[in-house]
Amino acid sequence: MQIDLANLEDFIRGSAFLGTGGGGDPYVGMLMLKQVLNDGMQVTLIDPADFDDEKTAINILTMGAPTVINEKIPSGPANVRALRAAEKELGYAVDAIMPVEAGGINASIPLVVGALTGLPVIDADGMGRAFPELQMTTYNVAGLSSNPNVMADDKDSVALITTVKNIDAERFCRDICVRMGGIGQMACYPLTGKQIKDHAVLNTITLAVEIGQSIRIAREDHDDVVSALLRFLESEHVGRVAKVLFDGKVTDLLRETKGGFSIGRVILDSLAGDGAQLEVVFQNEYLTALKDSTPVAMVPDLICIVDRETSEPITTENLKYGQRVKVVGVSVPEIMRSPQALATFGPAGFGLDVDYRPIELLGA
Amino acid sequence: MQIDLANLEDFIRGSAFLGTGGGGDPYVGMLMLKQVLNDGMQVTLIDPADFDDEKTAINILTMGAPTVINEKIPSGPANVRALRAAEKELGYAVDAIMPVEAGGINASIPLVVGALTGLPVIDADGMGRAFPELQMTTYNVAGLSSNPNVMADDKDSVALITTVKNIDAERFCRDICVRMGGIGQMACYPLTGKQIKDHAVLNTITLAVEIGQSIRIAREDHDDVVSALLRFLESEHVGRVAKVLFDGKVTDLLRETKGGFSIGRVILDSLAGDGAQLEVVFQNEYLTALKDSTPVAMVPDLICIVDRETSEPITTENLKYGQRVKVVGVSVPEIMRSPQALATFGPAGFGLDVDYRPIELLGA
C-alpha cells in the first residue's frame, strides 16, 4: 500500500471515520498532503512487519483543539523542527516516522512530514483511532515512555519536555500548546521496530484507505452506503463488530473550547418517530453514546457520526443543528481492551463514572 | 570576597534589601545555604574582572511566586538537573554559574548550586536588584538570548524552551512553572566572560554583603539604622542616590497569587500626623510608590520597605497590617536607565501608564 493522488481521498475519508469526530478536520490534512504530492514529493509507507526490530521511528502529530486547527493550519516545517530537536536530544537520527493516531488530521500529518523529509512512514499507530490526550496510547499502556516530547510552533519556538509519567508530559504539552495559540507540532514516543510490532495497532493507514474505498464504491454502485461500510468492517479481513447505534437528527448541540480541547455533547432525535433520543458526549472525540440515558457504546470502542445517506464522517466541529445522521459503533482490537488499556483510554481514563462494556454486549 | 558562615547573614539581609520586596523570602535561601556550608561544601566567588573573556557561565534561578516559594522550598538538585540539561543542549560544560538577579532567594540559589556542583559563582547579575520576569535583564536589553531556557521540578520533569524572543521564553516558562506547582528551578542565559563584563551589573553579591554589614554594624553601634544604610549607599564606594520616601504604618493590603505572580498593593498612613498616604504597587517586587497619588519612585529604581527601627527588609508576602516601616528609594546604575533598559524593565515594561522619572528628580 502507498498513498498517492489516486487513493488520497479514500485515505482522508477513512481516517476521518477512524477519527470518531476528532483529530481535526481531515479536509485540512488533505489539502496539506495534496500540496506535497502535487509538488512531486513522495510518501513511502512501510509495513511494520518489514521494519527491522533494531530500527527506530518516532511519532509525529499536531496537538490542539480541532476548532483551532481548522483556523490555524498545522505547519509541516514546524513538525520537521520538532523531529530534528527530538533527534538531537536522542542522539541519533530516526529511520522512520509514524502517526500516533489513525484518525483525523493526525493520520495525514506524518505523511506530509514523510514527504518533506524523505523518511518512510510506518503503517501503524498507537491509538487505532483518535484520542484527545498524549498518554492515551497502546505504548503508554505497555509502559513505554513518550520522552522526549518536543513541540514546535510557526514562530520558531521549541519546547522539549521530559517527564517520568507520560500523563505529566500531556499536561505540560497541553499548557504549551495553549500558549502557542492552541496548536503545536509534535514529535514524541521514539520506538524500536520491535516495540512497534509488539505494541502498535498495525496497518491502520491501510485500514483507513480501505474504509474510504468501501464508502466510495458503495456510492458509485448506488448501494446503501452505511450498510456497505458495516459489511466491510465485519468482514473476515477486518474482523470488527459494527452496527448502527442510532438514526436521527441533530436537535441540540453544546460545544466549547476549554483548556485546549473541544468539549461538549450533541443530542439526536430519532427519525423513526418513536421519541427516542441519543446523547453523544465528546472531548475532541466522541466518548460515549447514551440512548434514552442508557449507554449503547463507549470508549475505546469507536463512535462515529456519519451522514445517513452518503456515510460522510462528521467531526465534532462540523456538527450542525438539523443534520440527519447515523451513529455507527465499531469494536476495537483486543490490544485496546486489556484492563491496563481501559484504565488509560476507557471510560475511567476520561474520568467518566461508568464501567466499560464492549459494544457487542450493549443494546442499540 | 567569599560567602561563608561568618558573613552569610549579612549577605542574606543585603540581598533581601536588593530584592525590593520580591525574589522570595531570603530566610529560605539562608536555610539552604547554611545547610550546604554546614555540610562542609564551599562556595567560590569570582570577580567578573578575573573571568576570562572566552569562558562561559550560565544563570541559575528559581522561578515562582514568592508566596509559593515559602511553602514549596526550592530544590538545589533540580537546579543541577536543569544546569546539566542546558549543558547537554549547548554541547559544552560551563565554567561557572551566576545569579540572574541580585535580590531575594535568587541571590542565594546559585551559591547553593555552586556548592553542590563545585562550580564557581560570578559576582555579578543581570538585574542589579530583583525583577519578576525572565526578559527583564540587562542581557535582554543588550540583545542576548536566554536560550536554552531549562526548567526542572522535584518530580524529575524537565522542560527545555527555545524561542526567538526572550519574552516568549518568559511566557512559556511561566506556564510550565504554574504546572510544576508554582515553582520551577531554572538555568538560562548562557554568557561568555566578555558578555558578562560588558552587560552584567557587576559585583552585586559583594554589594549585598556590604549592605547587610552596614545594617548590622549600625545596629551594634545603636545608630539610626536606616540613616546609616542611606549614608553607605550614598558613599563614594557605592555612589547611589538614596532617600527615605515615607515613614508610615501599613493600613491596607491587597495581595493575590495570579498567573504565577504575587500581585497587589499596600497603603501606608504617615506617622507624622499630616494625613499623608503612600501607595506601593507590586508584582512580586515593589514597582511604584505614589504619595497622595503623585509618584515618588518607580522601577527600575529600588523601592524597599524596611522596619523603621531595625531596617530589616520586608518582602511583599511578609507585609502585615500595622507594621511601622520606612520606605527607602535607591537609584540604579546608568546601565539600567538607557531607553532600551527602561522599555524592558521601566514602567512601560510592566504595562504601567507613566513616564519614567529618576528618583533623584522626584519629590518625597
Kindly report the CATH number assigned to the domain that includes residue B348: 2.40.390.10
> For chain A, what is the HEC assignment?
CCCCCCCHHHHHHHHHHHCCCCCCCHHHHHHHHHHHHHCCCCCCEECHHHCCCCCEEEEEEEEECHHHHCCCCCCHHHHHHHHHHHHHHHCCCCCEEEECCCCCHHHHHHHHHHHHHCCCEECEECCCCCCCCCCCCHHHHCCCCCCCEEEECCCCCEEEEECCCHHHHHHHHHHHHHHCCCEEEEEEEEEEHHHHHHHCEECHHHHHHHHHHHHHHHHHCCCCHHHHHHHHHHCCCCCCCEEEEEEEEEEEEEEEEECCEEEEEEEEEECCCCCCEEEEEEECEEEEEEECCEEEEECCCEEEEEECCCCCECCHHHCCCCCEEEEEEECCCHHHCCHHHHHHHCHHHHCCCCCCCCHHHCCC
Judging by DSSP bridges, how do beta strands B261-270 and B242-258 pair with one another? antiparallel
Is there a contact between B23 and B302 (Cβ–Cβ < 8 Å)? Answer: no
Domain membership flag for residue B253: yes
A163 vs B contacts (CB less than 8 Å)? 155-158
Q: Are residues A171 and A99 in the same domain?
A: yes
A43: pLDDT strictly greater than 90: yes
Query: CA-to-CA distance for A99 and A38, rounded, in angstroms?
Result: 22
> Pick from A85, A157, A159: which is nearest to B159 by CB?
A159
Q: Are residues A239 and A331 in the same domain?
A: yes
Residue A260 pLDDT grade (very low, low, confident, very high; cuts 50, 70, 90): confident
Chain B CA closest to residue A160: B160
Determine the distance in angstroms separating the CA of A274 from the nearest CA of chain B, rounded to an integer: 49
Its domain, for residue A239, covers: 226-356
> Pick from A155, A156, A176: which is nearest to B175 by CB?
A176
Closest CA to A152 of A249, A86, A235, A242: A86
Q: Does A164 touch chain B (CB under 8 A)?
A: yes
Q: What is the pLDDT of residue B72?
A: 82
B175–A171 CB contact, under 8 Å: no
Q: Are residues A156 and A279 in the same domain?
A: no
Q: Are residues B238 and B330 in the same domain?
A: yes
Interface test with B, best of A162, A166, A167, A170 (most B CBs within 10 A): A162
Residue A118 pLDDT grade (very low, low, confident, very high; cuts 50, 70, 90): very high
Q: Are residues B61 and B142 in the same domain?
A: yes
A163–B172 CB contact, under 8 Å: no
Query: CA-to-CA distance for B170 and A326, rounded, in angstroms?
Result: 48
Kindly report the CATH number assigned to the domain that includes residue B198: 3.40.1610.10
Q: What is the pLDDT of residue A137?
A: 97
Q: What is the pLDDT of residue B24?
A: 77
Q: What is the pLDDT of residue B85?
A: 97
Domain membership flag for residue A363: no
Q: Are residues A179 and A230 in the same domain?
A: no
Domain membership flag for residue A271: yes
Sequence-distant (≥ 6) Cβ neighbours of residue B66 within 8 angstroms: B22, B23, B24, B25, B104, B262, B284, B315, B316, B317
Q: Are residues B192 and B277 in the same domain?
A: no
Q: What is the pLDDT of residue A261?
A: 80
Domain membership flag for residue A291: yes
Q: What is the pLDDT of residue A67?
A: 72
What integer is the mean pLDDT of A3-8?
A: 95
Q: What is the pLDDT of residue A22?
A: 87
Q: Does B172 touch chain A (CB under 8 A)?
A: yes
Domain membership flag for residue A214: no
- Range list of β-strands (E), B133-207: 149-152, 158-162, 183-192, 201-202
A159 vs B contacts (CB less than 8 Å)? 159-162, 172
Q: Does A154 touch chain B (CB under 8 A)?
A: no
pLDDT in tens, A177-220: 999 999 999 999 999 999 999 999 999 999 999 999 999 999 99
Residue-by-residue pLDDT tens, chain B, 364 positions: 899 999 999 999 999 999 999 877 788 899 999 999 999 999 999 999 999 999 999 999 999 877 777 788 888 999 999 999 999 999 999 999 999 999 989 999 999 999 999 999 999 999 999 999 999 999 999 999 999 999 999 999 999 999 999 999 999 999 999 999 999 999 999 999 999 999 999 999 999 999 999 999 999 999 899 999 999 999 999 999 999 999 999 999 999 988 778 899 999 999 998 999 999 999 989 999 999 999 999 999 999 999 999 999 999 989 999 999 999 999 999 999 999 999 999 999 999 989 999 999 998 7
Q: CA angle, corner B34, sides to B238 and B159, nearest 5?
A: 85
Number of domains comprising chain A: 2
pLDDT in tens, A49-69: 999 999 999 999 999 877 777
* CB burial readout A192-207, b (16+ within 10 A) else e: bbebbeebbbbbbbbb
Query: CA-to-CA distance for A67 and A70, rounded, in angstroms?
Result: 6
Domain membership flag for residue B47: yes
Q: Are residues A188 and A278 in the same domain?
A: no
The rounded mean pLDDT for chain A is 95
Most distant pair of Cα atoms in chain A: their distance: 63
A178–B175 CB contact, under 8 Å: yes
Determine the distance in angstroms separating the CA of B162 from the nearest CA of chain A, rounded to an integer: 5
Q: What is the pLDDT of residue A294?
A: 95
DSSP code, position B134: T
Q: What is the pLDDT of residue B75?
A: 86
Q: Are residues A296 and A154 in the same domain?
A: no
Q: Does B6 touch chain A (CB under 8 A)?
A: no
Residue A258 pLDDT grade (very low, low, confident, very high; cuts 50, 70, 90): confident
Residue A130 pLDDT grade (very low, low, confident, very high; cuts 50, 70, 90): very high
Closest CA to B180 of B284, B32, B64: B64
Domain membership flag for residue B219: no
> Pick from A156, A159, A163: which is nearest to B172 by CB?
A159
Q: What is the pLDDT of residue B66?
A: 75
* Residue A356: CA count within 13 A, CB half-sphere: 23
Directed axis angle between helix B204-220 and helix B105-117, to 10°? 110
Q: Are residues B182 and B304 in the same domain?
A: no
pLDDT in tens, A328-362: 999 999 999 999 999 999 999 998 989 999 999 99
Closest CA to A36 of A95, A117, A104, A103: A117
Q: Are residues B192 and B283 in the same domain?
A: no
Q: Are residues A107 and A157 in the same domain?
A: yes
Q: Does B176 touch chain A (CB under 8 A)?
A: yes
* Residue type at position A102: A
Domain membership flag for residue A335: yes
CA A89 to each of CA A83, A152, B77, B172: distance values in angstroms, whole numbers, following the listed order: 10, 14, 21, 20
Distance of CA B310 to the CA centre of its chain: 21
B157–A161 CB contact, under 8 Å: yes
